[in-house]
Amino acid sequence: MLDERFIFLGTALSFYGGLSYLLAVIKGKAQPNRITWFLWALAPLIAFAAELEKGVGLPALMTFMVGFNPLLIFIASFFNKKAYWKLQQRDYFYGLLSLLGIIVWQITGEGNLAIIFAVVADGLASIPTVIKAYHQPETENDQVFLFGMINAAITLLTLKTFDLAHLAFPIYIFLICALIFSLVRFRWGVMVGSRNNS
């Protein structure tokens, strides 16, 4: 196990990845799906509050950063018209499902349930960006996902308590960041599409 203070390193790396995406958005090189990035801010920040309530402590900093970066990126998407990804009907559908998950948690008000619904909501919010990264990886920047994955891995390696409150969000963030990073960096969708067309 790593010393818990390594969480600060993971958080700093995640923030660096977020800044690289933020600059790409401002320059119009990345086109974030606003619904996804808004919900990626909302769900983790709610999970962060629930983790604090459950006594997670310093490892909750990862969850905070996972919500803070998307909040900055969502705001930045309004400063460059080229940075706006045109929303499709399915984006609204997944956004609605994600919000429903958050509402269900608010009604129940239990910390572990909050974390589960935040993971589900965040996962549903990820679907439009996963689809976009598969079909049009050039509209994304892989660094935010790479450093998010590293942040989650460092957090997991520092844990001394292995329960739902401590494990759920870091495991989920590691997996979703690994998926989107791979889709953008290795352009799987483009490769599959070119094979199908040949």
pLDDT tens series, the chain, 198 aa: 889 999 999 999 999 999 999 999 988 888 888 888 888 888 788 778 878 888 888 999 988 998 999 999 999 888 877 666 666 777 677 667 767 767 776 777 677 877 787 788 888 888 888 998 999 999 899 999 999 999 999 999 999 999 998 999 899 999 999 999 999 999 988 777 666 665
Q: What is the torsional sign of CA 72, 139, 154, 114? A: positive
pLDDT of residue 161: 92
pLDDT of residue 10: 93
pLDDT of residue 50: 79
Instruction: Report CA-CA distances (Å) from 97 to 79, 100, 103, 192.
Output: 27, 5, 10, 29
pLDDT of residue 195: 63
Name the token pair of 87.
Answer: 């929303």
CA–CA–CA angle 152, 131, 32 (5° rounding): 70
pLDDT of residue 65: 93
CA distance 161 to 24: 37
Count how many residues are written for the chain.
198
pLDDT of residue 85: 60
pLDDT of residue 98: 67
pLDDT of residue 193: 65
